[in-house]
Amino acid sequence: MRLCGRRLACLLVLLAAAAGCQTARSLLLSVIGVEKKPLAVALVMDVKPEAALAVLNPFPRYAALQQALAQELGRPVAVDPCFAFQAQRELETGWYHVAVVTPVQYARLPEPLTANVLVVPVDAQGRTARAAVLVVRADSSVRAAADLRGQSVAFGPEDDSRTHHAALQLLREAGLARTDLALEVLPVPGSLKHLPTAQSVLQAVIRGSAAAGFVDEAAWEELPDTGGPDEPARDMLRIVGRTAALPDRLFVASPQLDEATADAVREALLRVGTQRPDALSPLGISGYAVPDAELLRACRALSGSQPPVQDAAESRPVEH
């Protein structure tokens, strides 16, 4: 039995929906004349591929921004979660028009892809960049990062731009390699002490299982002045160092995207902050701003970080 053209098109749309790729689905709709060609945006995950299997939808907080951006541009916006290796390849080909990346993901992109950063988020305090702070117990003899030789240091999640990569950068500037620290035996011998949250890092420092720890500046600012035995507070801790200040994310345009469209996307994102603050509140930000050269240099300085080993899943071609 033959399918008519409309039924076949509907079947293709359903298949694309089942695959979970908004870009492919929206492109099919544009081909059959249901909607305009979409702006394809990659939201690059900062978790490993194997960990992503436990996350059904890693970016629900971007839904309101997606809708607001579509209204501002007058065209559909298709948002696809993907991994860094996918985003690089598809930015180069022009499949993705824009990618939202972390600072360390940006630093690992080849030079042509770092040329056009559209905007970076502005946090609730009006900052385009924040540092991670290096904290020790208030009664610690440690006065600077250089004093941590041979001691245990707690880092944030593995591959976090501030509390892992910028943190290691700060230690290198103090003359410390990772092998100069007291490394972990578990789960992998010789590994750094990675903890999942700022709270767990602060507890490790207060309880003495780490001599120092790195937490996002925003997490430090949220601490109460005083606290109880199980509640970290500023009077229990002391800051002995700060990393380079980095943005939360960067919106990077594909080199295949024409200048007029890139400018339109930039201006639309800048307007969202003033005209649609409701779309940004799920992200915990107050708007977007155009980054200056100094901020981009701080991000590119993370390029010395060792990239994760590409696993077999990453080496396979990805179909949309």
CATH number of the CATH domain containing 258: 3.40.190.10
pLDDT at 28: 42
SS3 251: strand
Same structural domain for residues 123 and 52? yes
Question: Distance (Å, rounded) from C-alpha 200 to C-alpha 254?
Answer: 38
Residue 155 is assigned to a structural domain of this protein: yes
pLDDT at 34: 42
DSSP-derived pairing of the beta strands 117-123 and 285-289: antiparallel
- Our count of domains for the chain comes to 2
Write down which residue in 242, 261, 294 finishes a domain.
242
Same structural domain for residues 260 and 238? no
Place of tokens 């010789």: 190
Residue 91 is assigned to a structural domain of this protein: yes
Residue 292 is assigned to a structural domain of this protein: yes
The alpha carbon of residue 151 and the mean position of all alpha carbons in its chain are separated, in whole angstroms, by 29
Q: Which domain holds residue 160?
A: 132-242
Residue 29 is assigned to a structural domain of this protein: no
Considering Cα of 131, then 135, then 138, then 139, what sign does the dihedral take?
A: negative
Question: Distance (Å, rounded) from C-alpha 123 to C-alpha 232?
Answer: 23
pLDDT at 35: 52
Low-confidence ranges of the chain (pLDDT < 50): 1-20, 25-34, 52-56, 58, 307-320
Question: Counting Cβ atoms within 10 Å, is residue 156 exposed (0-12), middle (13-18) or buried (19+)?
Answer: buried
For the chain, the distance separating the N- and C-terminal CA atoms, rounded to the nearest angstrom, is 28
How many other CB atoms are there within 10 angstroms of residue 10's CB atom? Answer: 14
Same structural domain for residues 220 and 280? no
pLDDT tens track for 194-208: 999 999 999 999 999
Question: Counting Cβ atoms within 10 Å, is residue 272 exposed (0-12), middle (13-18) or buried (19+)?
Answer: buried
Question: Counting Cβ atoms within 10 Å, is residue 100 exposed (0-12), middle (13-18) or buried (19+)?
Answer: buried
pLDDT at 213: 98
Same structural domain for residues 188 and 215? yes
Helix or strand (DSSP H, E) at 239: strand 237-242
Same structural domain for residues 121 and 141? no
Question: Counting Cβ atoms within 10 Å, is residue 157 exposed (0-12), middle (13-18) or buried (19+)?
Answer: middle
pLDDT at 265: 98
Judge contact between 123 and 217, C-beta under 8 A.
no
